[in-house]
Amino acid sequence: MYSITVRGHMMVAHSLRGDVFGPAQQLHGATFVVDVEFRRPELDADGVVVDIGRANAALGAVLAELNYRNLDDDASFAGRNTTAEFLARVIFDRMAAAIARGDLGPPGLAVDSMRVTLHESHVAAAAFDGRVR
């Protein structure tokens, strides 16, 4: 299995509902450094998993929808806690949709799984890992 990983980041505000979150129930924020790993069993004729430039552009577009925002105001997350693990899935699904739309070109269509990791500090991270097709 081959893979490439690209990195971006976003800086968001949010609050979390539930006693389990303690002080994180207050409005606070986070920098999420986001790694997306794209995997496929064989390389394409150019010798790549996907075009790294297009992968970066696609990730940048997904992160731009969230960056510099208060996620509590985002209607698409109404009634949900925007935990790091939940956001890993959101980014996974949006990257999978970008691939399906062809934003990563033909090599993207051969990607069969991805891992999205959100690093929220030097001591904590969350991830979603799953099949794309």
Binds a copy of itself (CB under 8 A): choice among 60, 70, 97, 112 = 70
Between CA 48 and CA 44 the distance in angstroms is 6
Q: Does 75 bind a copy of itself (CB under 8 A)?
A: no
Checking 90-93 for CB contacts under 8 A at 24+ apart, the result is 90/66, 91/34, 91/36, 91/62, 91/63, 91/116, 91/118, 91/128, 92/116, 92/128, 92/130
Binding residues among 16-55 for a copy of itself as defined by CB under 8 A = 16, 18, 20-24, 26-33, 37, 43, 46-49, 51-53
CB-nearer residue toward a copy of itself: 34 or 98? 34
DSSP 67: T
Q: Does 57 bind a copy of itself (CB under 8 A)?
A: no
Please count the other Cβ atoms lying within 10 Å of the Cβ belonging to residue 59.
Answer: 21
Stretch 79-98: interaction string toward a copy of itself, x if CB under 8 A: -xxxxxxx-xx---------
What's phi and psi for 28, nearest 5 deg? -140, -155
Q: Does 109 bind a copy of itself (CB under 8 A)?
A: no
Residues in touch with a copy of itself (CB under 8 A): 1-9, 11-14, 16, 18, 20-24, 26-33, 37, 43, 46-49, 51-53, 67-70, 80-86, 88-89, 105, 120-130
